[in-house]
Structure 1
Amino acid sequence: MLAFLLLVCAATALKAPSSLPRQYGDFTFSRLQKSRTKLAEPSELKVTTNVVNLRKADVASVSSTYTQNGTTPLISVEGGQVFLANVLVGGQEYSMVVDTGSSDPWLATTGFSCHDPIDDASIDEELCEFGPLYNSNQSTTFVPIENQEFDISYASGEYLTGDLAYESFRMAGIDVPNQQFGIIDTAAWYGDGISSGLVGFAYSSLTSAFAETETGSKGPAVLYNPLFVNMYENEGVPPVFSMAIDRVQSNGGILGIGGIPDIPHAPYWASTEIHSVGVNDTSGEPVYEFYTIDVDGFAVSNSTSTQFNPYGNINPYKTPLIGNETDVIVDSGTSLCYVPDDVAAEIADAFNPPAYWDSSTYAYFVDCEATAPVFGVSIEQKIFYINAEDLIIPVSESLCVTGVQPRMGGLNILGGTFMKNVLTVFDIGAEQLRFAARQFYSVS
């Protein structure tokens, strides 16, 4: 349990920009200035029908944190929740983590070296807990890339290194014949026993290819198109994808590419601009870019009769929001929500009995039988309320943490706690996110 909480907190630390520059270790988080030209019109939200049955994976993982106008299944992984989809790579099928907070596609390869993320000691291969390993000898479409290396590190101590290559990818009906991806030959990884790698859906600025140097040091970054970028730039797919995460443990949810899945949702959408927020290294060059939006604030109360005011004006008959005009990242690779510390404290106090802070794990714990407060996130003056089931997260039979935790110097993140309650549309062409509320039932 302690390891689970420490990893959750660590994963949050890496994914961390805000509206002002903030130094965090070797990273600086800031809102990047960007001249916005006239954007494309919002994509038409056509319903897709290519839905695949979901399955359960009963394993523990907090890894960070995918179709011709189709949908593909996601698998809910217990503990820290990640979401997996089946992808054909070189004609072989692999389960891969879907992550909107990163960009690279990568797979662990046969004969890789496994290391302990804590002390970097070499350990047995099975302890990295990958699924079936990629073998380039079994593919006729593998093309190695010379003079480049793959290198990515995580705040949890995990890291992955290896080579890069081109390979054929097929995800739920969409073929990308020459997709660049990482081939992992050295890994320090907390795996889930099922996934063989990861597919990132964020921007190209997060990709992790670097030029090789004669000295062996890491050279300059070499940006390339992630899988989804190639889908809409080269394969005629509309530049939009959508996610509906399922809270039912036997299911994971649905991902639609080029449209939205055919699931019940509210008819009204909240649309908001994606901001250019990045993690900058000391040279000032952009390293990461996420799906970052402004939220009006957070609705918090211990009374179900409370009427909230999402408009920011004075209204003596309604309760104002807290944490107004907060930048947040929408990230399927993060299990919980992370909010300003004072907001998290107010949410903790609103539980009955109140949640309590544990200074050894830097997390709010709560009685597993407690009554959860009313909690909602306001986006463009529409409040999206969170199911009480998502606010009390069991980490053992008798121990629970709150589904909303303090950011503690990291970024504000709307992760699984929030995304289980909405249908999220990532409209890259119009540079906006759209949200529709979902009722509290299985989407699959």
Structure 2
Amino acid sequence: MVFLTTTLASALLLTLSLAAPVEEQHSKRAPAAVAAHQVLQLSRQLSTRPNRLTLGSKFRNLRSFAASADPQPAGLDVALPANQQVEYLLNVTAGGNNYSLIIDTGSSDTWFVKSGFQCYDYLRRKVALANCQFGPEFKGGFPGGRIENLHFNVSYGNGYSGPNLNGEYGYADLTLAGVTVPKQQIALATSGYWTGDDISTGILGLGMPGLTEAYNSSDPRLDSVTNAISYSPVVSTMTSALKIPALFSLGLSRKPEDSFLALGGVPANVKTGEYTTTPLLTWQSQKGGEEYFWYTIQTDEMVWNSSTISQQTSGSPRAIVDSGTTLNYLPYQIAEAINNAFVPPAVWDPQVGAYVTNCNATAPSFGIKIGGQMIWTEPSNMILPQLKNAQGKCLTGIADTDQEPYILGDTFMQGLVAVFDVGKLEMRFAKRV
């Protein structure tokens, strides 16, 4: 969930991704962000993008799809593109009421804004609730009862002046994608600084237990890894309570009819090319030892080509696959080079905190090799037509950061089927055809 620093209208960019690990979520139990000291070298080597599938490769891809071992999903629903296409929402039922939550693979807590929420600005001054721009507030208390002596405490943005929330924990039966997850631990946010979309009530955290944000201190200001209490988030509870396979799949698209979240499998009617598989990676925990926090993978190579530039990396970083982050956040040298390959070149706009270019610009072909297979991003995903700066220029889908871990957001995920296989501790990706 990355919040970009900007003076543009708050409804534009401060919601430009709600769930990105490093830029946004600062779990007190997760590893601290690591500055990138090594420069990734770029080389001018041509790597052409295939314009179309040959007959043979098309048949091979269809055979690969037919041989897929993923089960049919236990639940399926629309992942609705919303808020100028910078986020994806899912309808979730709790306490007999329906709410829209942001689908977030970059965090693990599922939370709703509680009725009576106290909104603050970034200077911690009390302001009207409307300033936080939430959708409908959660009605009533916890249907399954409150958890005493445990509180919710999460920070986003830069961890200091960025959005932050405090609240309570309790239980509720959650119905999502047609599946009712019993007695799920959720949070009700009671106070904090937030810049929402006037639609969503909170976040659906689809991450692993390592990123949960529960603490048992009497003063949230003292929260740290020493008083963090891990618990079972939605995907884990779904598996333990309902025996649904520990996986889910996302097929994000700017077209609502093509965009889905599936629990426990992959829809049979979704046609894809060949899947590539890569293991999930651990991080060094502040408690010592290795732990799974985000859906982190190793990228093998990045390639971008245009009519003026053809380049590729000679080394490639590990990255988080995060549906709650709109853009791809890459090392500065790579992000700058890719944006320079737009025709005309994209330039950094400090007012919006992102790269911008002509809305009708030609985006470069951009591919990321994962598990030995190149995955090409659709050029149309590289420009965000509904997000413009004061001069009418459109944002690109590539941003930079100087800290690990890097992020593959919606720009990368749109047009793919991404399988988050928690049971096998791996991810699978395939291009939709």
Please say whether Structure 1 and Structure 2 have the same fold, judged by a TM-score greater than 0.5: yes
Matched AA of 1:375? F
Matched AA of 1:130? F
The alpha-carbon distance between structure 1 residues 285 and 144, as it changes in their structure 2 partners (threshold 3 A), is farther
Which residue does 2:407 correspond to in 1? 413
**Counterpart pick for 1:401 among 395, 399, 403:** 395
Matched AA of 2:413? M
Describe how 1:98-113 pairs up with structure 2 within 5 A: 98-113=103-118
Whether contact under 8 Å (2:16, 2:87) holds in the other structure is no
Q: Distance in 1 between matches of 2:174 and 2:247?
A: 19
The alpha-carbon distance between structure 1 residues 288 and 400, as it changes in their structure 2 partners (threshold 3 A), is farther
Question: Are 1:321 and 2:312 matched, yes or no?
Answer: yes
Which residue does 1:258 correspond to in 2? 264
Which residue does 2:71 correspond to in 1? 46
Whether contact under 8 Å (1:10, 1:155) holds in the other structure is no
The alpha-carbon distance between structure 1 residues 342 and 28, as it changes in their structure 2 partners (threshold 3 A), is closer
> How far apart are 1:407 and its partner, in Å?
2.1
User: Which stretches in structure 1 are left out of the alignment for 5+ residues?
Assistant: 18-25, 31-42, 49-68, 307-318, 440-444
Q: Distance in 2 between matches of 1:128 and 1:177?
A: 30
The alpha-carbon distance between structure 1 residues 110 and 361, as it changes in their structure 2 partners (threshold 3 A), is closer
Matched AA of 1:229? S
In the TM superposition, what whole-angstrom CA distance separates every residue of 1:53-94 from its partner, at most 9, and x where no partner exists? xxxxxxxxxxxxxxxx12112221234612111111122221
> How far apart are 1:372 and its partner, in Å?
1.1
> How far apart are 1:432 and its partner, in Å?
0.5
For residue 137 of structure 2, give the secondary structure of its aligned residue in structure 1: coil
Whether contact under 8 Å (2:208, 2:293) holds in the other structure is yes
TM-score, with structure 2 as normaliser: 0.80
Which residue does 2:303 correspond to in 1? 299
Whether contact under 8 Å (1:149, 1:163) holds in the other structure is yes
For residue 232 of structure 1, give the secondary structure of its aligned residue in structure 2: helix
**Counterpart pick for 2:99 among 94, 100, 111:** 94
User: Which stretches in structure 2 are left out of the alignment for 5+ residues?
Assistant: 1-5, 26-30, 36-67
The alpha-carbon distance between structure 1 residues 252 and 83, as it changes in their structure 2 partners (threshold 3 A), is farther
For residue 236 of structure 2, give the secondary structure of its aligned residue in structure 1: helix
Which residue does 1:270 correspond to in 2? 276
| Count of residue pairs the alignment pairs up | 381
The 10-residue stretch of structure 1 (294-303 or 330-339) with the greater mean CA deviation from structure 2: 294-303
**Counterpart pick for 2:22 among 14, 37, 55:** 14
The alpha-carbon distance between structure 1 residues 84 and 212, as it changes in their structure 2 partners (threshold 3 A), is same
Which residue does 2:148 correspond to in 1? 146
Q: Distance in 2 between matches of 1:285 and 1:160?
A: 28
Whether contact under 8 Å (1:204, 1:226) holds in the other structure is yes
Which residue does 1:162 correspond to in 2? 167
Whether contact under 8 Å (1:337, 1:414) holds in the other structure is yes
Matched AA of 1:132? P
> How far apart are 1:119 and its partner, in Å?
1.6
For residue 136 of structure 1, give the secondary structure of its aligned residue in structure 2: coil
Which residue does 2:374 correspond to in 1? 383
Whether contact under 8 Å (2:17, 2:324) holds in the other structure is no
The 10-residue stretch of structure 1 (292-301 or 349-358) with the greater mean CA deviation from structure 2: 349-358
The 10-residue stretch of structure 1 (347-356 or 101-110) with the greater mean CA deviation from structure 2: 347-356
Describe how 1:33-432 pairs up with structure 2 within 5 A: 44-48=69-73, 69-79=74-84, 81-116=86-121, 118-136=122-140, 141-155=143-157, 157-213=162-218, 217-218=222-223, 220-248=227-255, 253-277=259-283, 289-303=293-307, 321-322=312-313, 324-359=315-350, 361-394=352-385, 395-396=387-388, 398-432=392-426
The alpha-carbon distance between structure 1 residues 360 and 419, as it changes in their structure 2 partners (threshold 3 A), is same
TM-score, with structure 1 as normaliser: 0.78
In the TM superposition, what whole-angstrom CA distance separates every residue of 1:219-278 from its partner, at most 9, and x where no partner exists? 600110001110012211011100000123x56820000101244332411000000136
Q: Distance in 1 between matches of 2:177 and 2:15?
A: 31
The alpha-carbon distance between structure 1 residues 406 and 215, as it changes in their structure 2 partners (threshold 3 A), is closer
Matched AA of 2:149? N
Matched AA of 2:260? I
In the TM superposition, what whole-angstrom CA distance separates every residue of 1:352-406 from its partner, at most 9, and x where no partner exists? 1112233555532212221111111111221111111111223228211221122
For residue 318 of structure 2, give the secondary structure of its aligned residue in structure 1: strand
> How far apart are 1:339 and its partner, in Å?
1.5
Q: Distance in 2 between matches of 1:80 and 1:288?
A: 29
Whether contact under 8 Å (1:206, 1:287) holds in the other structure is no
> How far apart are 1:160 and its partner, in Å?
1.0
The alpha-carbon distance between structure 1 residues 251 and 154, as it changes in their structure 2 partners (threshold 3 A), is farther
The alpha-carbon distance between structure 1 residues 389 and 329, as it changes in their structure 2 partners (threshold 3 A), is same
- Cα RMSD between the aligned structures? 3.0
> How far apart are 1:192 and its partner, in Å?
1.3
Matched AA of 1:289? F
